Chains A and B, each alone.
Chain A
C-alpha cells in the first residue's frame, strides 16, 4: 500500500471520527454522551494502532490487518449472543419486559457484528487462502450462528402479541445458544482448515508481537464500547416504541 495514500485516508478517517464524535456529543445526553464519545475516540485510536503501530505480518502482508476488525467483531458477536442467552433465561424466570428488550437489542447488534465477521473473513481469506469462502470449522460455525440469530429476529418480526413474542424469543435465545458448542464440535469434526488460535495458545501470549497486541486489544476495547452504545440506544428505541404502541392503543380503545 502506498505510504502517502495511507496517511491521507487515515487523516480523512480521523476527521470523520472527530465529526462523528462531535455529532453524537451534541445529540446525546447523560451516560450515552460519554459512551458515544469514548467509543468514537477508541475507534479512531484503534484504527491508528492497527494501521501504523502494528507491524506488517511477514507472511500474510497487509491483508493481515483486517484481523483487528475481524477478531474483535467475532468476540463481540459471541459475547452478544451469550448476553441474549442470559437475558432470555432471566426473562423466563421472572418475566420482566426489560430483560426481553435487552435480549432483543443484544441479538440485533450481535447479528450486525456477526455480519461484519462474515464480510471481513472472506476479504481476508481471498488474498491469504486464495478463496473467498471455505467450509472451515470456525467460518461455518459463524455462518450457522448468524442463521440462528437471524431466525430469532424473524420470529420476533412475525409475532404481534408482545408477551407471547418475548416468551417464544426467549426459548429460541436459550436453545440457540445451547446449540452453539454442539454445532461447533460437529463442524470441527466435519472439517477444519482455520489458522490455529494465535492469541491464547498454551505457550501464553508469545505468538503475537507486542505492537500487534496493542492494535488488537484497543480494537477490542473500541468494539466493546461501540457494542454497549448500540445496545443502549437500541433498547431505548424499543422502549419508546412500546410506549408509542401503548399510547396508540389507549387512543383507539
Chain B
C-alpha cells in the first residue's frame, strides 16, 4: 500500500515538475479559457452579467463549457508528452501497478485543472460581475467534485486518443458524451450558488457528482491497465 501511494506521488510529481519547467499546458489552458469566456460575451451580447437566477444560470453554463474545452488542452498535452518521450513504453515495462500510474497522472491533471478553474472563476467575477466571492467555499466544492470526474475520464481517454492515428483530435469526441452528467450537474450546482438559491438546490447535483466520481475514478483506474498492456 505504501508502495502504491509512493508511485502515485512520483508520477504526479514528475508531471507537475515537467509542467513547472515548461509552463506550457497551464498557460495555454488559461488563455484558452479566458478566450472562451470572452467569445461567449460577444456571442450573447454584453448582457449575461450581474446577479439573479437567470444571470447565474447563463454564467454557470458559459463557465463550465469554457472549462471543459480548456481541459482538453491540458489532458491531451500531458499524454502526448508521454508518447513523444516513449512514456507509454516505460509505463508498460514498469512493474508498478497501472492503477497507481493512472492515479498519478490523474492527480497532476486535477491540480492543473484546479488552477485553471480558480483563474476562470476570478475572470467570471470580473468580466460578468458574478457574485463568486459571496459563495467561494461552496463553489469550490462543486468545482472540485466536477473536476475529479473530468480528470478521471479525461486522463483515461487522453491516454487512448494519444495512441490513435488522429492523436489528440479524437479526445473531445470520446470524452464529452461521457461527461454530459458532469457538465449538467456542475452547471446546475454552480448556478444554484451564483443565482443565490444555494444548498437546497445544489445538494442533489453535488451528490450526483460524487457518485459519478467514485464510479469513474475506480473504473478508469482499473481500465488503465488495458490501455498500457501489449
Cβ-defined contact, B181 with A185, below 8 A? yes
Quick one: closest A residue to B220, CB to CB?
A175
Quick one: closest B residue to A160, CB to CB?
B165
Residue B219, interface by CB 8 Å? yes
* Contact A170/B178 with A159-B165, A182-B215 known, Cβ cut-off 8 Å: no
Residue A207, interface by CB 8 Å? no
Cβ-defined contact, A186 with B184, below 8 A? yes
Cβ-defined contact, B185 with A186, below 8 A? yes
A168 and B88 alpha carbons, distance in the complex (Å): 14
Cβ-defined contact, B156 with A171, below 8 A? yes
Which residues does chain A contribute within 8 Å of B180, judged by CB atoms?
144, 183, 186-187
**Least Cβ distance of A189 to chain B in Å?**
7
Q: Mark A87-120, 1 if CB is under 8 A from B, else 0.
A: 0000010000000000000000000000000000
Partner of B163, one of A148, A164, A170, A189: A164
Cβ-defined contact, A187 with B177, below 8 A? no
Cβ-defined contact, A151 with B173, below 8 A? yes
Which residues does chain B contribute within 8 Å of A190, judged by CB atoms?
184, 188
Residue B31, interface by CB 8 Å? no
Interface residues on A, range: 20 to 34
Which residues does chain A contribute within 8 Å of B216, judged by CB atoms?
175, 178
Which residues does chain B contribute within 8 Å of A189, judged by CB atoms?
184, 204-205, 208
* Contact A175/B181 with A182-B215, A186-B208 known, Cβ cut-off 8 Å: no
Residue A167, interface by CB 8 Å? yes
Residue A240, interface by CB 8 Å? no
Partner of B170, one of A154, A171, A175: A154
Residue A71, interface by CB 8 Å? no
A175 and B211 alpha carbons, distance in the complex (Å): 15
A176 and B229 alpha carbons, distance in the complex (Å): 20
Partner of A186, one of B181, B219, B223: B181
* Contact A151/B211 with A158-B166, A171-B156 known, Cβ cut-off 8 Å: no
Cβ-defined contact, A185 with B173, below 8 A? no
Cβ-defined contact, A167 with B164, below 8 A? no
Quick one: closest B residue to A141, CB to CB?
B180
* Contact A159/B219 with A144-B177, A154-B170, A186-B180 known, Cβ cut-off 8 Å: no
Cβ-defined contact, B170 with A178, below 8 A? no
Residues 120-173 of A contacting B (Cβ, < 8 Å): 144, 147-148, 151, 154-155, 158-160, 164, 167-168, 170-172
Cβ-defined contact, A172 with B174, below 8 A? yes
Residue B4, interface by CB 8 Å? no
A185 and B229 alpha carbons, distance in the complex (Å): 34
* Contact A155/B170 with A164-B163, A179-B181, A183-B181 known, Cβ cut-off 8 Å: yes
Between A159, A171, A172, the greatest number of chain B beta carbons within 10 A of the residue's beta carbon is seen for: A171
Residue A174, interface by CB 8 Å? yes
Cβ-defined contact, A182 with B166, below 8 A? no
Residue B69, interface by CB 8 Å? no
Partner of B215, one of A155, A167, A178: A178
A144 and B182 alpha carbons, distance in the complex (Å): 13
Which residues does chain B contribute within 8 Å of A178, judged by CB atoms?
215-216, 219
Residue B10, interface by CB 8 Å? no
**Least Cβ distance of A115 to chain B in Å?**
15
Which residues does chain A contribute within 8 Å of B116, judged by CB atoms?
none
Residue B227, interface by CB 8 Å? yes
Which residues does chain B contribute within 8 Å of A159, judged by CB atoms?
163-165
Cβ-defined contact, B227 with A175, below 8 A? no
Residues 36-54 of B contacting A (Cβ, < 8 Å): none
Residue B160, interface by CB 8 Å? yes
A144 and B166 alpha carbons, distance in the complex (Å): 22
Residue B212, interface by CB 8 Å? yes
11 A-B residue pairs with CB within 8 Å: A144-B177, A151-B174, A154-B173, A168-B160, A168-B163, A171-B160, A171-B226, A175-B216, A175-B220, A176-B178, A182-B208
Q: Which 8 A-B pairs have the closest CB atoms?
A: A186-B181, A147-B177, A148-B177, A158-B164, A171-B223, A158-B165, A158-B166, A186-B184
Q: Taking A154-B174, A158-B164, A171-B223 as given, write out 13 further A-B residue pairs in contact, using a Cβ cutoff of 8 Å, ordered by the A residue number.
A: A148-B177, A155-B164, A167-B227, A178-B219, A182-B208, A182-B212, A183-B181, A185-B208, A186-B181, A187-B180, A187-B184, A189-B204, A190-B188
B residues near A (Cβ < 8 Å) are 153, 156, 160-161, 163-166, 170, 173-174, 176-178, 180-181, 184-185, 188, 204-205, 208, 211-212, 215-216, 219-220, 223, 226-227, 229
